[in-house]
Amino acid sequence: MSSQNQLFKPDGKNSIHDGIEHSPSGGKALIDPTDTVLLLLDHQTGLFQNVKDIAVADLRRNTTALAKLAALIDLPLIITASIPEWPNGPLMPEIQQVAPHAVYVPRRGEVNAWDNALFVKTVRETGKKTLIIAGVWTNVCVMFPALDAKAEGYNVYVVIDASGDPSEIASRTTLARFTQAGVIPTSTNAVTCQLHRTWNRPDAAQLAELYCMASPSYQAVMESFNKAQEVEAAKQTNNGPKSTRSTTPALAAQSR
């Protein structure tokens, strides 16, 4: 059992069970990890070539981070592709590499995954009512099933920075349609934070690695902190610095 399964209970309260007293109102407006399934739709190499509203490298990295998150916290993950044997191309391999538990649902040419009976059946069988969706293109492959799922009564979140569109205007009009329909736009970082909720957990270091994927600058923050810890530990071991001079500007400043 993952630490996530121990921290959260399917009681509808979305409270943290880590042995610490928390506010009973905390988490009420956030994603409940016990009621959530991740859908990664049509992240295909052919479609990537027409993505213009986000760097494809960023899109792939964020999508991989979501898949890794699903694997880490035992979140159901369903993936599908639009006629991968045609120009749309195969799915990016990173998803199944980092999340071997992902369930692949083939389609028979349907543009909208929600038109595929097996796909909808697979989603329903999870028993979850909250869908986190990302895919390519946002204005088609994501929007169509997102709107249909919302109309069917699901709580739907769309991860915009793990999705891509052929243009900025396509992305903006899609965001407008989402908000009009009650579909909630979000980001990879926000999803990770909502499902994470507390650092008081044994997989905290692995979650920190996911933040570095979603926000590469965070890696520099961690590296700086770790180096500062190493320097301080060396000082304690050696009873303080041996010299008042240093060739490293930061250390030189500390010694003055």
Give me the active site residues, please: 141
Nearest to 155 by CA among 72, 39, 5, 73: 39
Tokens of 68: 């890794």
**CA separation for the pair 93, 137 (Å, rounded):** 18
Residues contacting residue 245 through CB under 8 Å, at least 6 positions apart? 252, 255
Could you give the count of Cα atoms lying within 13 Å of 15 in the half-sphere of its Cβ? 10
Q: Where are the beta strands (DSSP E) in 142-230?
A: 155-159, 184-186
- Would you list the DSSP string of 67-94? HHHHHHTT--EEEE-S-TTSTT-PBPTH
| Residue 135, H or E segment | strand 130-135
